[in-house]
């Protein structure tokens, strides 16, 4: 991917957790204890994962979040700064502990996760208002659902009003209202989340197209249903197609979706088509599943480009670098 004249500006609003990970042969059933292997503690949280993924993929990232005024929170902020992420809007609270995720990863790389939201549940619309003045300098807002829904709505509404393109990764799955979806340019559910949002059982490509139409009818611009190693189903109202994934040996799929979304945001902000951006994001996600941990698994820009060149024979077509008169990249609307 060729360098753009201007580093894309990505705002991420979301969660920050510390992940405590045990690798085991299998995920225990209710009432069962299994002996695991090595224990690992790593930075995580869907919002933080996406912020780190976007920064490593080449974006200039500002993260809006809440952490506890505790050791986990202090470490998280220090980690964001090491990644070059603007953390001025990562707020500390003494009224709740930092978020924690307990994760078990089985021998196939699949995982089971329990989250204690802690400070993430205190990220408020008022916190968003403190950051919205800075939104004017951004290209894309990236959201997930590990923070209160009222906060997600406020962020999407504020970003849309200031000309940012809005990407919502609807995870963990929950019911969403049409007012929120009307402010979403690109929705990125996995198959389970798409089923939850639409009531459509997804088994075939036709099911994916049907679910995507339902979501677009509710106001969403484009839908990308992530399919793991198979890639992503893309529906933009003009056509539907599957953008193939890349075959790799999976070690841990914990942050694959987050890495996909972070890389997608950067590629779109650089002017790529949705299909090209999805392919770039597929490559980033494929690299991430070959590594253990959430944020540690996110690849850097040069790694993604080398991967694409090796798999496709090129690093993909260069971004279009469309610019508006004010110097910002044009954001495509539906």
Contacts of 70 (CB under 8 A, 6+ apart): 97, 98
Q: Which residues pair with 44 in a beta bridge?
A: 17
Give kind and range of the element (H or E) at residue 102.
strand 99-105
169 token code pair = 């990764």
Of the residues 71, 178, 258, 326, which is catalytic?
A: 258
In 3D space, the residue among 116, 103, 1, 130 whose CA is nearest the CA of residue 68 turns out to be: 116
C-alpha 192/C-alpha 212 separation (Å) is 13
290 by Cβ neighbours in 10 Å (0-12 / 13-18 / 19+) ranks as middle
Residues 6+ apart with CB under 8 A from 276: 267, 316, 317
Look up 185 and say whether it is catalytic.
Answer: no
Are 146 and 18 in contact by the 8 Å Cβ rule? The answer is: no
Locate the DSSP E strands across 193-316.
Answer: 222-226, 231-235, 240-244
Q: Count Cβ atoms below 10 Å from residue 304 Cβ, excluding itself.
A: 29
CA separation, residue 281 to residues 188, 224, 278, 316 (Å): 12, 11, 5, 12
**Among candidate residues 110, 4, 135, 136, the one with its CA nearest the CA of residue 57:** 4
Active site residue ranges: 258
């Amino acid at each position: 991917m060729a360098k753009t004249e201007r580093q894309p500006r990505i705002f991420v609003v979301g969660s920050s957790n510390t992940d405590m990970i045990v690798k085991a042969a299998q995920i225990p059933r209710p009432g069962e204890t299994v002996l695991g292997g090595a224990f690992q503690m790593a930075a995580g949280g869907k919002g933080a994962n996406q912020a780190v993924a976007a920064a490593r993929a080449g974006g200039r990232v500002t993260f809006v979040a809440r952490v506890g005024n505790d050791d986990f929170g202090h470490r998280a902020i220090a980690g964001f700064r090491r990644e070059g992420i603007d953390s001025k809007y990562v707020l500390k609270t003494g009224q709740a502990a930092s978020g924690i995720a307990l994760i078990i990863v089985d021998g196939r790389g699949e995982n089971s996760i329990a989250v204690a939201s802690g400070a993430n549940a205190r990220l408020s619309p008022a916190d968003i208002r403190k950051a919205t003045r800075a939104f004017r300098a951004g290209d894309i807002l990236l959201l997930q659902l590990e923070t209160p829904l009222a906060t997600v709505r406020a962020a999407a509404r504020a970003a849309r009003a200031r000309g940012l393109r809005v990407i919502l990764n609807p995870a963990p799955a929950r019911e969403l209202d049409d007012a929120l979806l009307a402010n979403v340019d690109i929705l990125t559910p996995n198959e389970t989340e798409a089923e939850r949002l639409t009531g459509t059982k997804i088994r075939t490509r036709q099911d994916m197209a049907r679910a995507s139409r339902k979501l677009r009818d509710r106001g969403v611009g484009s839908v990308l249903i992530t399919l793991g190693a198979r890639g992503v189903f893309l529906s933009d109202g003009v056509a539907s197609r599957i953008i193939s994934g890349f075959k790799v040996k999976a070690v841990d799929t914990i942050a694959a979706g987050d890495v996909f979304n972070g890389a997608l945001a950067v590629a779109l902000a650089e002017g790529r088509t949705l299909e090209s951006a999805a392919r770039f994001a597929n490559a980033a996600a494929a690299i991430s599943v070959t590594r253990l941990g959430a944020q540690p698994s996110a690849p850097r820009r040069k790694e993604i480009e080398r991967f694409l060149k090796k798999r496709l024979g090129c690093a993909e077509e260069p971004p279009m670098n469309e610019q508006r008169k004010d110097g910002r990249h044009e954001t495509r609307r539906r």
